[in-house]
Structure 1
Amino acid sequence: MAPSEEDSLHVVDHSNPPPASSHGGSSGSSRPRVPSPVLHPSRPTLPGRQSSFYSLIGQDEREDATPPLFVGFDLSATGLKLSVLSEQLLLVKEEEVIFDQDLSQYGTRGGTVEAGEEGEKLAPVLMWIAALDELLEKLSVDDFPFERVRAISGAGQQHSPVFWAHGADDILKDLDPSFDLRSQLKSAFSSPTSPTWQDSTATPEALALEDLVGGPGKLSYLTGGRGTSRSTASQILKLRHTDPTVLPATSRISLVSSFLCSILTGKLQGIDESDAAGTRLFNVEGRKWDERLCKEAGGEDIDLRGLMGEVELDGGRSLGTVSEWFMGRYGFDRDCIVCPFTGDGAAAFLSFAMKPNDVTIQTGDSDNVLIAMDEYRSHEDVQVFAHPAQSLDEPRAYYALLSLKNGFNARAWVCKNYSSSSWSTFSEQISSFSSPFTTSTPTGFYYIQPELHPYGAVGVHRFEANEPVDDFSVGAWNARALIESQALAVKSVARTLLSPRPASPPADSPNTTPTSAPVDTSSASLPPAIRRAYIHGVEAANTSLVALLSNVLSAPVIAPPALTRRSVSQQLSLSSIDSHSASIGSAMKAYWSWKRCQGSKASFIETINRMQGSTEEVFALLLAEPKEAEVKWYEERLEGWDKLKKVVVERCKEGAAAAL
């Protein structure tokens, strides 16, 4: 199953990445930022200037000081990152402020502070603003050419609401470039903190919202996902009960993405359509705030739809230019545009330039799986979002996020208990058996933590010949059984979401445009659905794991395209792309928005592909290709695996989960 000629891959050597850039130091102090003695209404670049920024770029860039730059921000849970791309999509600069280290005065751990209730995780809003001050100062010390930036976009951690006080819009408009942002925005918020995605204290509110519309399936179909403690709707409903003074004192509610965008533009901006889907207040197909959910979350006396504001439905339109504060303090050009910011997951999705039926697996303690779709379908165990970079006249596209809590932690548990804590042994155990590797067909489900997919599953459950067993006959089988099960979980969900037939909404769905017959997800009725599988994270280097993944998914597995390369001979490391994927995706969106302002009618994917074609080659690292015999085996195996998974779910409901 080799890729088509159109999709052919060029293997590149990432063994010699360039040295890391030298960033300006961070003091970590709480001092107000005092500007340089001379403010910069414009900051012309001196020909031949050899700053530390210019030491990062090629000779052609040094000789021509006018090429445009494109900036992407990522205000994540743990820090603020920035990536800068050239017009050729070369990564020419990265910078980062880590909350716990660089802004330690806020006392955060992992970017949050714990409040009174166990599991309550909040973030100080002024810390986020101080991070922007700090990052801009780092760039200024590094002599960064702000005047060359032509477009900016960004991303923020999803779900977290930011509550603007009355009069905040006027404060944003009147910022004085003689003073830093933090000192001028202290009074701009009706709540000094924002609940983060780590917060687990709003589960009763999440269940109440599901009950309101008829259950998790119906809420998923309406809003893209089931109720969760982290969702904006759950947190607002909880806040209404725990601190009823906040919402009446609020003029607008932003998400972290639109909050940062508002600061950059000097006026309150709308939430983008993709990020809105994570609120559980937004009708994804209807493209509007849902009145019933907003009434429940905000209460009868609060116009929550008004507080949430108009939703940005065009992810690439220009919102105007950066505010006068950025021009006056740092010398940004007056023509530097800003386009809508989105969620960090959506921006990471953009960094892969995925086409419909592509899947990206981001490995970590939890594994996150991104699935690109050209039609809207829901699934209780995933979150579905609108594509974050589409114009109003494009056919609508979507992507799904499948979060598997038992990712690396489950692999580490098996490695410790069955591979003598040796990753090389673990890899050997994966590849030492061919499929089917025994007639008893060992199947394992390893839920070291309560799982999100399937929801609520916990414990270790093993089967031989479809019969439950306490442990396998051969302990070495656990490594392969684990990876098979994790890969089959991805295949099962992708099979449903990427089916050529649309799924029906649940009975009595509040969705306004019901579709036709249910999807038949049996393996006999559907062709292989995944076009390509991207993988990034440390597991990308495990050849045994990647080969098995390719066979299960029936798709070539590749590393992310090296869109951010400097040159053929000087590749960036994949780890750099991994850690900055959201800021890189944001910078790519900024580039697309700028091209549209230049008159381009091309879509985001078309724009990125055209730029790739204008450079030497499109680089991607082919890691594995599926083998026909094993593909057939896993196609036949999927239905049986699904049945055993349902057995496990029922056992967990009955409290029969195996003790670890």
Structure 2
Amino acid sequence: MHRRLFLGLDLSTQQLKAVILDDSLTLIHTESLNFSKEFPRFGTIDGVIRDPSSPSRVFTPISLWLSSLDLLLHRLSLHSHFSLNDISAISGTAQQHGTVYWNMKGEIKLEGLSELSGKSLEEALQNSFSKEECPIWMDSSTTEFVDKFDREIPNLNGITGSRAYHRFSGMQIAKIFKYEREVYDSTSRISLISSFLASLFTGRIAPIDLSDGCGMNLLDMQSLDWSPLCLSLALDSQDDQLISDLRSKLGSPVPTSTNLGVISSYFVSRYNFSPNCQIISFTGDNLSSMADLNISCGDVILSLGTSDTAIYCSSSFSPLERGHVFIHPTNTHQFVYLICYKNGSLTRERIRQKCNLSWDTVSDALKTTPVGNNGNIGMYFDMDEIEPRVKAGDYKWNEKGERVESFSSSCEIRSVLESQCLHLRSNCPREINRVILTGGASHNTDIRQMIGDVFGRDVYTAPVADSAAQGGAKRARYVHNMPDVPYSAYFTPNLTLIARPIQENVEIYANLLSIYKEREASLLHSY
């Protein structure tokens, strides 16, 4: 009987990773390679090159990714406990926002790859790009265009799901159109990094998927097509021909669950893939991780790291002032909300050190103060916060609502943890079924319990290693098998219950939340 395997790939900033699952979602193999370590000839540091004459310009040579894919597939082909011929479908993910600029020669070479299986991808696709480097998400050289989009389209987040950001693809396209016009004019197609990777496997330019396309400031969330207003502003022109030309370069976006057809015969000849192996649309890394966790409406993911991030789903679209909305990667009728808070673990660390506590003694200190901190509330921002828009500083109120300069150490450590949990809760939807906790702070039992009590829901954790690549493999399996049930019902995510809410604490925090919002509003009014 033919063994069915599914390959998920993740082209991140620093490495290319592969995960192979079987039809029961058993992990068969993982493989990864570090760009800078494996390919020093490209001169990258941590997978990128920073322009010494313009430090805000950050990019990666496209040839590095081509060489990396060749090497990774070569290594996979050498293993004896599985065969690439058993791969039934491939999907994957990539770092978001980066743009790849194909020229017409590249399109022709891509379609003729099957005749070049004796050559590496780097050799076969030589001179295929009008720009040999890809500006990536770390690039911040587009301030001129961010300011322009914010000024000219005040409701940009209501159209595209986000306000203008330096790293978003539309800003890069606008910059290239204005300052590298020869590059733009010689470009026949523009890919995101995710669709670029899919294009290699299909042997033709793969469409941009709707979910990753939301990270461009160009996609209309309602029409699920490119916004004429945003395209016009990127080109600084209302010329219909120019706008139509950019629309053609981008191609028509497709749902993330689209089956793009069978693999290019280049990979059949070179690496012994089955000619029936199917290629499923690739998407962005954060979105693919969501597919791995299989979250749906009612779930909230809290990632507690250097920055704290809240991710949740909804069946309705409502733009965020300082956050992002994406089309759900496994259900085009739902939306993914992502809110990033700049002040996370570093702020927790600062207050812990200020109180002369170790994380082992934090727990003891919390036991000396009551849940709710007797109504004392502190808000701590080492940096100007994104959401809400508050200036850096420590702000403290006693139980009477009076501003104070200091708390006791035991009051302070509880204050920073409770305020961050209340902060997360205040921007999440009312109706929540469960909380999924990830990130470094998710290992702290006190924070786990506090999250459960503030949100009033069970708290789970999930394995996050290789999550983006696994999400690709799981989506490949789902689209290949075409079951009669939605993706959300096709498999159960691997979650572990780590905290249950204590009802008495839930009631205390529910009352404290409204007070917290009032205190926060007073800071907004004084910004």
- What is the TM-score with the length of structure 1 in the denominator? 0.75
Aligned to 1:494: 428
Residue number among 90, 106, 111 corresponding to 1:152 in the alignment: 90
Return the offset for 1:388.
Answer: 0.9
Distance 1:202 1:367 in 2: 25
Aligned to 1:435: 371
Aligned to 1:340: 281
Gaps of 5+ in 2: none
Secondary structure of the corresponding residue to residue 387 of structure 2: coil
The reply on whether 1:591 has 2:527 as its aligned counterpart is no
Aligned to 1:320: 261
Return the offset for 1:489.
Answer: 2.3
Distance 1:431 1:182 in 2: 61
Distance 1:128 1:423 in 2: 41
- The aligned amino acid for 1:195 is P
Distance 2:446 2:38 in 1: 39
Q: How does 1:165-180 map to 2 (within 5 A)?
A: 165-175=103-113, 176-180=116-120
Return the offset for 1:426.
Answer: 3.0
Aligned to 1:89: 25
Contact 2:435 2:459 in 1 (8 A): yes
Return the offset for 1:406.
Answer: 1.9
Distance 1:98 1:288 in 2: 36
The reply on whether 1:468 has 2:468 as its aligned counterpart is no
The reply on whether 1:640 has 2:501 as its aligned counterpart is no
Q: How does 1:624-639 map to 2 (within 5 A)?
A: 624-639=499-514
Aligned to 2:158: 221
Q: How does 1:41-190 map to 2 (within 5 A)?
A: 66-115=2-51, 116-143=53-80, 144-175=82-113, 176-190=116-130
Relative distance call for 1:193 and 1:643 in structure 2 (3 A) is farther
Return the offset for 1:592.
Answer: 0.5
Contact 2:390 2:523 in 1 (8 A): no
Distance 1:491 1:453 in 2: 12
Contact 2:105 2:127 in 1 (8 A): no
Q: Percent identity, aligned pairs only?
A: 28
- What is the TM-score with the length of structure 2 in the denominator? 0.93
Distance 1:462 1:589 in 2: 47
Return the offset for 1:95.
Answer: 1.1
Return the offset for 1:431.
Answer: 5.0
Distance 2:367 2:473 in 1: 40
Distance 1:233 1:399 in 2: 20
Secondary structure of the corresponding residue to residue 118 of structure 1: coil
Distance 1:150 1:67 in 2: 9
Relative distance call for 1:443 and 1:244 in structure 2 (3 A) is farther
Relative distance call for 1:428 and 1:161 in structure 2 (3 A) is farther
Aligned to 1:362: 303
Distance 1:336 1:308 in 2: 26
Distance 1:134 1:264 in 2: 15
Relative distance call for 1:427 and 1:185 in structure 2 (3 A) is farther
Aligned to 1:289: 226
Moved more, 335-344 or 399-408: 399-408
- How many correspondences in the alignment? 517
Aligned to 1:25: none
Return the offset for 1:447.
Answer: 2.1
CA RMSD of aligned residues (A): 1.9
Contact 1:349 1:370 in 2 (8 A): no
Aligned to 1:405: 342
Secondary structure of the corresponding residue to residue 320 of structure 1: strand
Distance 1:155 1:418 in 2: 42
Flag the structure with higher strand content: 2
Contact 1:70 1:150 in 2 (8 A): yes
Distance 1:285 1:625 in 2: 38
Moved more, 335-344 or 624-633: 624-633
Return the offset for 1:386.
Answer: 0.8
Relative distance call for 1:194 and 1:462 in structure 2 (3 A) is farther
Contact 2:293 2:494 in 1 (8 A): no
Deviations 1:375-412 (A, max 9, x none): 22221122111111237xxxx11111111222222222
The reply on whether 1:581 has 2:450 as its aligned counterpart is no
Deviations 1:256-315 (A, max 9, x none): 1101000111110111011111111011111110001111113434632221111013x2
Distance 1:100 1:416 in 2: 36
- The aligned amino acid for 1:238 is K
Residue number among 306, 311, 331 corresponding to 1:390 in the alignment: 331
Secondary structure of the corresponding residue to residue 371 of structure 2: coil
Contact 2:373 2:411 in 1 (8 A): no
Distance 1:162 1:150 in 2: 28
Contact 1:431 1:544 in 2 (8 A): no
Residue number among 114, 139, 142 corresponding to 1:199 in the alignment: 139
